[in-house]
Structure 1
Amino acid sequence: MKKGLVVISGCSGGGKSTLLTELKGRGHAVVEEPGRRIISEELASGGSALPWLDLAAFLRRAIDMALADWAAAADRDGWVFFDRGLVDAASALEALTGDPVMRSLCATHRYYPRMFMAPPWPEIYASDAERKHGFDAAVTEYDRLIHAFPALGYEVIPLPKTPTMQRADFVLTSLDGAIGKDR
């Protein structure tokens, strides 16, 4: 049954990837975050399209990867959950360079009308080898995204600060109640 491509976005370190792992464990298709995949590839190849070396190149790669992910998932049945996506990368590039890519790209590559936003959650935030920025930068990113998605016509559903299994239940219940209303 066709359902939709659902974005889970928000604050870095807010539990998005953990939530996606739970949804995958429940049998749903998931698409991993473009940024983490790019960082892994760039580090392995000695590349420079890394957010701490060349943020614009990193974001352009993230846009390309998000477009490819969207195209690969567009015809799948059931819910497909994205750990971030095109809006994240395009809005970041626009904020960085002033290049107005967000509206044009995001208008033709739509996700499900409801999306989920992970709020800043300092109690679980942690830096690592791929997330070198601090919590303040993560909150700034969240502030940009909490405005970008509604500006593109998405209904933003804040994720509760609850254990992962309860968060997954919340997402699935929110979507099941939306079928028919959002179409």
Structure 2
Amino acid sequence: MALLVPRHAVLTGAPGAGKTTLLDAAAAAGIATSPEVARQLLQRPGGMELRAGDPLGFAEAMAEAHAREYERFANLPGPVLFDRGFPDVVGFLDVSGLPVSPAIDRACRTLRYHGPILRAPAWAAIYAQDAERIQDWAEAVASDEAVTAAWRRYGYAVTDLPLAGVDARLRFLRESLQPAA
């Protein structure tokens, strides 16, 4: 019997719940990683304005960036850990009260992640706003609920990360990336 290696693990969940910190620790531990595309878009000139003035255009830009990252790691033999994925874009649209375009829906249905989907739940003790994380606490919780629902709507099982320090979360992540028989 062949072992099934998780190829595309994803960190999802609430803004400010420790995803980037865990992603950085995973990269330092030798795990291939893909950064959060939304944060990269927001950090570019005009990114915050695009999000505020054209959230549908921002969602489309996120989906395109996710597609590039997905393709970049398509042939990697081992696992890669993505900071968010296509259903996160749907969650953004849902929480914004916007429709999901056919192209974004198609990406969610056809470009599938084959690995654990790990959710960083909203965690008030570590939440802090910053230049790109503009949601208040209630908005962060609503975002978490929307993206988690979107992942489930597209048929993924979502596993919660423990509310624990980065070392414990990294151990949990490594265990989640072990091949299944």
Structure 1: distance between partners of 2:150 and 2:48 = 29
Per-residue deviation, 1:100: 4.5
Contact 1:3 1:77 (C-alpha < 8 Å) held by counterparts? no
Residue 117 (1) aligns with residue 122 (2): no
| Alignment correspondent of 2:152 | 150
**Per the alignment, in what secondary structure is the counterpart of residue 19 of structure 1?**
helix
**Per the alignment, in what secondary structure is the counterpart of residue 133 of structure 2?**
coil
**Per the alignment, in what secondary structure is the counterpart of residue 6 of structure 1?**
strand
| Alignment correspondent of 2:180 | 179
Per-residue deviation, 1:61: 0.6
Per-residue deviation, 1:174: 2.1
Per-residue deviation, 1:2: 5.8
| Alignment correspondent of 2:100 | 99
| Alignment correspondent of 2:69 | 69
| Contiguous gaps of at least 5 residues in structure 1 | none
Considering Cα pairs closer than 8 Å and 6+ residues apart, tell me whether 1 or 2 has the greater RCO.
Answer: 2
Per-residue deviation, 1:53: 3.2
Contact 1:94 1:100 (C-alpha < 8 Å) held by counterparts? no
Per-residue deviation, 1:154: 1.1
| Contiguous gaps of at least 5 residues in structure 2 | none
Per-residue deviation, 1:128: 0.7
TM alignment of 1:14-93, pairs within 5 A: 14-43=17-46, 48-49=49-50, 51-93=51-93
Deviations 1:101-124 (A, max 9, x none): 454221110002421001010110
Contact 2:121 2:161 (C-alpha < 8 Å) held by counterparts? yes
Structure 1: distance between partners of 2:100 and 2:169 = 35
Deviations 1:68-127 (A, max 9, x none): 111111111211001112111133235532235454221110002421001010110000
Contact 2:37 2:66 (C-alpha < 8 Å) held by counterparts? yes
User: How many residue pairs get matched?
Assistant: 176
Moved more, 10-19 or 95-104: 95-104
Structure 1: distance between partners of 2:172 and 2:5 = 20
Judging changes above 3 Å, is the alpha-carbon distance between structure 1 residues 66 and 122 closer, same or farther for their aligned structure 2 residues? Answer: same
